[in-house]
Structure 1
Amino acid sequence: MRDFYRIGAKTFSILCISVSISGCVTDQSGNTAQTGTEPGVHTTRNHVVAGLASLIGGESFGSSIGNMLDNMDRKALARKQQQLLMAQGDNRTVTWQSDHSAMRATITTSNTRQEEKSIRIVRNANVAAPGSIHAIGARYQVTSAAPVYLSPSTSATVAMTLPTQSTIMVVGQLTGQNWMLVSQQGRAIGYVTTSALHPMTAASHHAASSSGTFDLDAAPSAPASKTVSSTVNASVTCRDLKTVATDKGKSSTATETACRSPQGVWELN
């Protein structure tokens, strides 16, 4: 089966690309569940921001499905794929219908698993390079005022302090350690102890947005610094994605593997 998308292991910019991630998904038995908003998506000045560049930034459609789509449908279908990937659990299905053509598709996720991969992490130059990590790529809430250290040690220099109830993107947890590598604006800014952070649920996302504590423009920022990148070994969450597209009686199927990046974006391999 020829691939639907073929995107290499390039890192794409994920800033300021908007898409709605809330919605309903239906499992194989027809049951419907509200997905809510995934921690990998954040609100900035009332805009929902998510990285879709890995799906639509390198559109190289050579498959039979790709040949069935125009540019608008490619982007719309990619957004629908990302929406489903953001939902939790396997064997969930969403349907997509083009708003200007007869194109339809069903998309199903399955076989969520951990894979060992080498990933690239961009960090402030004064932040110590991480060892191996469990990649997370999700937004966490600060449960108590949390120092951000330049290396995973309480004796290290403190870059800044995150206030209680603020939110931060967690790149990942250091393997075998109680330290989280956290980031802002796509760059790692330091390390926070796991005890000071808690994963955000759909309910906590809503509460934070309503109270204004989820406005990243109002959150403190780490001091500006030159950035560098590191390649590290990581345990990454991956999931299979099956897409069946139909148009005027013609049908085509593609199955891909998508893995969640440290920035919270699902990237097709």
Structure 2
Amino acid sequence: MSDTTAPKDGAPAEELQAPAPAGPAVPEIAGTPVRPELRVEVISHHSGQFGAADAGDTTGYGLTRSAVTLAPAATRPYGGWFDDAVDALVEDLRASGVDPAAAIEKVVVEHGELTLFIAREHLLDVVAPLRDDQDLRFELCLGVSGVHYPQLAGRELHACFQFMSLTHGARMIRLEVACPESDPHVPSIVSLYPGDDWHEREAWDLMGIVFDGHPHLTRSAMPDDWVGHPQRKDYPLGGIPVEYKGATTPPADTRRSYR
């Protein structure tokens, strides 16, 4: 009886071995793997069920542990038009001499929405083709909002820009830029999207994100002499004096100009 496991036609035995099972896909940008620390960013850890820390636990829930994370980096295919949009942006960045993997930190797909995390030094490099490329054409910026993650060391402040393409049927894309509390600077995009002027003012006023290059970054909601940024999570929630007491509204002809 012949040995059915023997190589046929003189083929080496290793050629007949089953291929090794593939491991989990690693998210990447233009062939470069996403940095491990950015694939899943852990914001905090929770223990217990109800958050009561002033008494002993009698429910057993005190043994539960959970991690609060940002949405993980996505792997291809992203789905729908997302792959084509990212490919077009990567092509534009390469054409302008920018390394796509240095500009785009990671791609996130969650709840049917596309978010690109962008390195702040390359924000304008990304925003320009996002507006001008005929395959992208995100002509409308819907504004910027700020998020504060006090426990996300070195990336505590996030500026989230939302864009819409009227040319391509109201497609939506989000750019998210992270910066540390110790250096809360992000480039302003007002030179490309003038309508973002007041949104950036508000994000600076309430969250303390400084938009470099903004034509006139001033308080928009709080008084000029207000100390701090009241939408940060470490801002005191109570027990402070009523800071508006005695405030006055100056005559219209003496107010500062916003132009």
The alignment's TM-score, normalised by the length of structure 1, stands at 0.22
Which structure: greater helix fraction? 2
Larger Rg: 2
Q: Higher RCO, 1 or 2 (CA under 8 Å, sep at least 6)?
A: 1
Which structure: greater strand fraction? 1
